[in-house]
Amino acid sequence: MDWTDKVWNKYKGKHFADAMKNLSEDLEKFSRENTDVAKLRKGDNMELSETVDLLRKMPKYQELTI
């Protein structure tokens, strides 16, 4: 985390309990909107290749090779 992190900047001034509640709600919303992320969060039994394919869809990991 650093000062350019969007999540940090959104919650840095909030009380810890409020930030955790809101962060949890945001993560749930993100999971509902992104079914691939929901699969990862639920811990579905996925093959390694499926997991890698999901990660490759994320911009930060597009160059991932296995």
What ranges do the domains of the chain cover? 14-61
Q: Any alpha helices (H) in the chain, and if so which ranges? A: 6-11, 16-33, 35-42, 48-56
Between CA 27 and CA 38 the distance in angstroms is: 10
Whole-model pTM: value is 0.55
pLDDT given for residue 15 in this prediction: 94
Q: Which tens digit of pLDDT belongs to each residue from 10-50?
A: 889 999 999 999 998 988 887 777 777 777 766 667 777 87
